[in-house]
Homo-oligomer: A and B are copies of this chain.
Amino acid sequence: MKLNTKSRYAVMALADMAVFSSDDAVSLRDISLRQGISLLYLEQIFLKLKKNNIVKSVRGINGGYILVKSPKELKILDILLALDQKVKTIGCKKNSKKSCNGKSTKCITHNFWDELDIHINSFFESKKLSDLLKNREARI
């Protein structure tokens, strides 16, 4: 019942960007040093963030990444979706006719997991990146 590390690091890295935001791009090297995340891993993560239009890149010296939206507007859900981290606690394929145990009708628990998915998704939908920066003590 855990998100994968790519998603967790993505949220962490973007929060870092929000804190150290300026007009300049933020380099992965800086994020790596500040947050203790492997640079090579960050590259992989930001590739996906870029493809999903969460950040845009600036190449060359003094390059880096820039948030496309402001932290106030960036939903955590969008970050997770960019990393293929679906909130899907349900066992069966969502649009498949087959149930999770191979029967033809939905299993007895299906509706329950469905409710749970909605419950979690609405949390990620409501939270913005800026919400992570509130009330933080010296925690960078």
Contacts and interface: CB of A to CB of B under 8 A. Distances in A.
A89 interface: yes
Contact of A108 (B19, B108, B112): B19
A86 B35 contact: no
Interface string A38-75: 00000000000000000000000000000000000000
A136 B108 contact: yes
**Chain A interface mostly:** loop
A13 to B, nearest CB: 10
Contacts of A19: 108
Contact of A139 (B12, B37, B100, B107): B107
B5 A3 contact: no
Interface string A1-30: 111010010011001100100000000000
Interface residues of A, number: 47
B36 A91 contact: no
A120 to B, nearest CB: 6
Nearest to A136: B108
Given A35-B108, A108-B139, 7 more contacts: A1-B120, A2-B89, A8-B91, A16-B108, A76-B112, A105-B139, A106-B139
20 contacts: A1-B2, A1-B3, A1-B85, A1-B88, A1-B120, A3-B89, A8-B100, A8-B109, A8-B113, A15-B108, A35-B108, A36-B102, A36-B103, A105-B138, A106-B139, A107-B139, A109-B132, A111-B135, A116-B123, A119-B119
